[in-house]
């Protein structure tokens, strides 16, 4: 089996639109969560959301190119360009059968709303314009990147709810490990708008706590729900020998990937499914639990979700659980994007030489007791990380990484 390394990462995030901005926010514990009062006027219970500032979607794309792309696909394109740049590659390097594209995505709600509005305005389908069909497809990211970069290798989209981004990385790594591809651009994106999350709010899943920056509080005794967020994350995965041959920066190694399904309920995570995925990732990476120095928790700040992850962590690590960082305290829940974003955040931390703290954690409840939540920033980088993701329908994924 071939070794798989990460040679570039890019992000368009509520923490920043460059690696330096993201590193600064992670280091200083700066939240990307705000309140949008108009959501209350629209009938939401919660006004809270992540917000991306300073992103210029027209910077690298013409108006004609953007016509077929929703906002999150444009963000994925920008994140991919940043990842390629860090890796020392140009977009034209992707014009090869040995390069692939794999992204996670599980909705295009705003595009569907816009399509309906265009039909009502035009009065007939022939007057709607030609871009809607491409914006509305779940594979909109990979199909657009395919054309923009001229990629001739395999390309597909992964839909596994909030584990989509982690699945994309795991599947990309498998393609390289098996020798089918030499390099894969992978990642995920999440649309950031109110239509895509109103039904979540209707389920009572969102925090209503104020002020906004204190609302997302994973594992904390007073957590009351998640905060929706979004953006895009991209990573370049390569075969180790290929990367070494071209003197690429080796930022991290993907040691193992595990995935599972709960097979129980649509919305309530089980106390065993994520543990199976973690054990699979450790086994594939040839790791013992004692080798892990940080767990990058899924930890969305929901009462049931955090309780389930705590139970899964205890099942795997027993009383020897390593430090647990819960980055959604800063970002909110980036949903489909989150599994990929958390890996990118870990790589950025390792390169900058620190491990980020979890904010808003004041103490556990009885379900999260015994989980060593990292509440003070460490001035040392994470080295061996287990990064978790889980989603509706019982989707679970875990990625074992060696950083630096």
Active site residues: 162, 298, 333
Strands (E), 109-196: 155-158, 183-190
- Per DSSP, the three-state class of 164 is helix
175 class by beta-carbon count within 10 Å (0-12 exposed, 13-18 middle, 19+ buried): buried
Which contiguous run of DSSP H or E holds residue 116? helix 109-122
Rounded to an integer, what distance in angstroms lies between the CA atom of residue 72 and that of residue 23? 21
Which own/partner contact pairs does 202-206 have at CB distance under 8 Å and 24+ positions apart? 203/267, 204/45, 205/302, 206/44, 206/45, 206/46, 206/48
Rounded to an integer, what distance in angstroms lies between the CA atom of residue 271 and that of residue 125? 48
Rounded to an integer, what distance in angstroms lies between the CA atom of residue 309 and that of residue 313? 6
Both tokens of 342, joined, read: 């958390």
Residue position matching structure tokens 């959604």: 328
* Other Cβ atoms closer than 10 A to 54: 9
């Amino acid at each position: 089996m071939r070794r798989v390394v990460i040679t570039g990462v890019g992000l368009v995030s509520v923490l920043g639109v460059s690696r330096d901005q993201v590193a600064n926010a992670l280091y200083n514990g700066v939240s990307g969560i705000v309140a949008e009062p108009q959501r209350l006027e629209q009938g939401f219970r919660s006004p809270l959301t992540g917000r991306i500032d300073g992103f210029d979607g027209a910077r690298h794309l013409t108006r004609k190119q953007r016509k077929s792309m929703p906002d999150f696909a444009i963000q994925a394109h920008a994140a991919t360009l940043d990842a390629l740049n860090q890796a020392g590659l140009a977009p034209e390097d992707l014009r090869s059968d040995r390069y692939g594209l794999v992204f996670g995505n599980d909705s295009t709600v705003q595009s569907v709303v816009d399509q309906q509005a265009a039909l009502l305005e035009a009065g007939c389908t022939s007057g709607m314009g030609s871009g809607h069909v491409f914006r509305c497809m779940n594979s909109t990211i990979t199909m657009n990147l395919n054309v923009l970069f001229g990629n001739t290798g395999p390309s597909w989209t992964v839909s596994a709810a909030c584990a989509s981004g982690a699945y994309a990385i795991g599947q990309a790594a498998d393609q390289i490990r098996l020798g089918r591809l030499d390099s894969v651009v992978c990642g995920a994106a999440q649309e950031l708008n109110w239509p895509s999350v109103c039904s979540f709010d209707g389920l009572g899943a969102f925090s209503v706590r104020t002020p906004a920056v204190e609302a997302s509080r994973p594992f904390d005794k007073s957590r009351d729900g998640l905060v929706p967020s979004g953006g895009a994350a991209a990573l370049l995965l390569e075969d180790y020998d290929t990367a070494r041959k071209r003197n690429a920066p080796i930022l991290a190694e993907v040691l193992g990937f595990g995935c599972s399904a709960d097979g129980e309920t649509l919305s309530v995570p089980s106390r065993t499914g994520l543990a199976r995925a973690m054990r699979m990732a450790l086994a594939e990476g040839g790791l013992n639990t004692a080798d892990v120095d940080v767990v990058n928790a899924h930890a969305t700040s929901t009462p049931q979700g955090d309780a389930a992850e705590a139970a899964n962590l205890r099942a795997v690590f027993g009383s020897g659980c390593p430090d647990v960082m819960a980055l959604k305290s800063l970002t909110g829940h980036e949903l489909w994007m989150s599994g990929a974003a958390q890996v990118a955040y870990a790589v950025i931390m390792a390169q900058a030489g620190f491990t980020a703290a979890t904010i808003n954690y004041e103490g556990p409840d009885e379900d999260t007791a015994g989980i060593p939540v990292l509440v003070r920033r460490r001035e040392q980088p994470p080295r061996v990380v287990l990064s978790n993701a889980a989603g509706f329908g019982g989707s679970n994924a875990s990625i074992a990484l060696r950083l630096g």
